[in-house]
């Protein structure tokens, strides 16, 4: 296998994917000398495998013939770049998987909507092709599945920028959603982030497909460079392969697929996700009526405009997945009766000006600001030329205080929305932990 060179191998990072890589290599390449390096303490049952733990975990890279980088460790780190420049071989579980897989592969990436679009595609395809599998960010680790696949299998993979940044392969069908600034703490620059995303189509050829919405600037720019067959979708352009018009989704030329209000997903962004899924599944010649029926039965994912319920006459929604200003803007647009908005989280240097404009132009009456980006948003509000006297603003330190304020100030039959526009790392380990805490606090207060 060309992705494993030499005998001395280092697995760099030992999270879920690193553990999967170790299992795969031990099964298929038992003669390799494998070691593990990670900044954090790790638990490993095989006492014969040497580990390198702590802040100096990157210092020994040059001793290894191949280093297998896990997604959480940035490719741009000086130690990794020096390793590459020295002529050594850097790879990843993603590269190993795509170098070996013989199945049809569908890869989905973008800044937001990846998980929903991936799940929608899988949900629809599975009904017609039982040998369809979900892997990657939202499914099981890729290498855990590899041995179970054959030429008749279809693999649906959610691919993050972290997985794509040093990827040397592209899927048979690439689905490229909107790209806006995110994960700049990992990528370093927006340009690096875009470059990582572009790998999903960079290695495609004329027998492959790229599914995308040309209305998005960065997405369209990447699409212009591909050799793949282009399949477009749009919320406005009726010349696209799949499009929306007056609350209905169509396939070209004018084949009705479904009315928007029949899809158990809300927001304009989810209309795009549905169009992306419809376009992708149509490549497999699935009858429109089957696509329609399975769109209707799709179960929305947690933490993505998730209805928590009605408590003390207030309707609560959990959108903890929203970690960018644009995704929160989309969430605001999804609700006519939104009265209370909770925002704020870990500061990654994103621009909150568009979000502040949206808030000040909306009918939001209560704005709850969490650390630390809540401070930046408040500063933008005060610097704005627009009036904010109509909004009651509360800066809080904890989610407990945010929920308490929401129950106190939100009117009956109005909506309170958690859509942070920032990642969770100020107070939580993940957006899931943040969303679950929010939901639990609501139910406990009730």
What does the pLDDT average to over 340-360?
A: 94
| pTM of the entire predicted model | 0.89
At 288 the pLDDT is: 97
Q: What's the rounded mean pLDDT across residues 9-27? A: 95
User: Is there a contact between 240 and 271 (Cβ–Cβ < 8 Å)?
Assistant: no
- Which tops the pLDDT comparison, 114 or 446? 114
Query: What pLDDT, on a 0 to 100 scale, did the predictor assign at position 47?
Result: 72
Question: Domains in the chain, start-ordered, CATH in brackets?
Answer: 8-91 (3.40.50.720), 100-296 (3.40.1190.10), 306-445 (3.90.190.20)
Percent of the chain whose pLDDT exceeds 90 = 89
Span of 37-51, 125-139, 245-259, 367-381 with lowest mean pLDDT = 37-51
- 61-65, 349-353, 417-421 — which is least confidently predicted? 349-353
In this predicted structure, what is the pLDDT of residue 402?
Answer: 98
Confidence of residue 335 (pLDDT cuts 50, 70, 90): very high
pLDDT in tens, 93-132: 999 999 999 999 999 999 989 999 999 999 999 999 999 9
Q: Is the pLDDT assigned to residue 46 strictly greater than 80? A: no
DSSP letter for each residue of 247-292: TEEEETTTEEEEEGGGSS--SHHHHHHHHHHHHHHHTTT--HHHHH
Q: Which structure tokens are listed for 224? A: 């212009």
Question: 340: which strand partners?
Answer: 366, 416
Average predicted confidence (pLDDT) for the chain: 95
Taking only the tens place, the pLDDT of each residue in 152-175 is 999 999 999 999 999 999 999 999
CA atoms within 13 A on the CB side of 138: 22
Q: E strand or H helix at 66, and its extent?
A: strand 66-69
| C-beta separation of 373 from 421 below 8 A | yes
Read off the pLDDT band of 201 (50, 70, 90): very high
pLDDT at residue 36, as a whole number: 96
**180's tokens:** 């806006």
- Model confidence at 1: pLDDT above 90: no
Does the pLDDT of residue 446 top 70, yes or no?
A: no
Distances (CA, A) of 324 to 20, 332, 382, 422: 30, 13, 21, 5
Residues 6+ apart with CB under 8 A from 114: 108, 137, 138, 158, 159, 160, 177
pLDDT digits (tens, 9 = 90+) for 387-423: 999 999 999 999 999 999 999 999 999 999 999 999 9
Are 37 and 59 contacting, i.e. CB atoms less than 8 angstroms apart? Answer: no
Q: Residue 425 — pLDDT band, cuts 50, 70, 90?
A: confident
């Amino acid at each position: 296998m060309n992705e494993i060179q030499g005998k001395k191998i280092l697995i760099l990072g030992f999270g879920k994917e690193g553990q999967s890589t170790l299992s795969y290599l031990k099964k298929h390449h038992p003669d390799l000398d494998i070691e593990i390096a990670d900044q954090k303490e790790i638990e490993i049952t095989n006492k014969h495998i040497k580990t390198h733990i702590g802040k100096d975990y990157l210092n020994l890279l040059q001793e290894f013939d191949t280093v297998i980088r896990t997604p959480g460790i940035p490719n741009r780190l000086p130690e990794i770049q020096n390793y590459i420049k020295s002529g050594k071989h850097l790879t990843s579980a993603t590269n190993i998987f795509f170098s070996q897989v013989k199945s049809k592969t569908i890869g989905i990436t973008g800044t937001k909507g990846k998980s929903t679009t991936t799940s929608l595609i899988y949900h629809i395809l599975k009904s017609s092709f039982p040998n369809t599998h979900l892997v990657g960010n939202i499914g099981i680790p890729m290498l855990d599945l590899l041995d179970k696949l054959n030429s008749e299998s279809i693999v649906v993979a959610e691919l993050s920028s972290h997985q794509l940044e040093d990827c040397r392969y592209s899927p048979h069908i690439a689905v490229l959603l909107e790209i806006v600034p995110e994960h700049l703490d990992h990528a370093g620059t927006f340009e690096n982030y875009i470059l990582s995303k572009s790998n999903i189509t960079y290695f495609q050829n004329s027998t492959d497909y790229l599914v995308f919405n040309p209305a998005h600037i960065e997405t369209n720019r990447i699409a212009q460079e591909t050799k793949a067959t282009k399949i477009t979708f749009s919320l406005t352009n009726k010349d696209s392969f799949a499009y929306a018009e007056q609350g209905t989704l169509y396939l070209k030329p004018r084949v009705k697929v479904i009315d928007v209000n029949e899809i158990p997903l809300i927001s304009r962004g989810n209309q795009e996700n549905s169009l992306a899924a419809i376009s992708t599944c149509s490549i497999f010649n699935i009858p429109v009526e089957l696509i329609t029926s399975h769109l209707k039965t799709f179960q929305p994912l947690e933490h993505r405009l998730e209805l928590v319920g009605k408590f003390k006459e207030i309707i609560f929604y959990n959108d903890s997945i929203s970690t960018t200003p644009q995704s929160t803007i989309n969430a605001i647009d999804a609700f006519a009766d939104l009265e209370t908005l909770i925002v704020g989280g870990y500061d990654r240097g994103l621009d909150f000006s568009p979000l502040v404009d949206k808030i000040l132009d909306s009918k939001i009456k209560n704005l709850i600001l969490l650390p630390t980006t809540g401070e930046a948003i408040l500063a933008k509000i005060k610097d704005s030329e627009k009036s904010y006297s109509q909004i009651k603003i509360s800066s809080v330190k904890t989610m407990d205080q945010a929920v308490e304020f929401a129950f106190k100030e939100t009117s009956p039959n109005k909506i309170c929305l958690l859509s942070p526009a920032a990642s969770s790392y100020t107070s939580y380990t993940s957006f899931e932990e943040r969303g679950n805490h929010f939901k639990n606090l609501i139910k406990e207060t009730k």
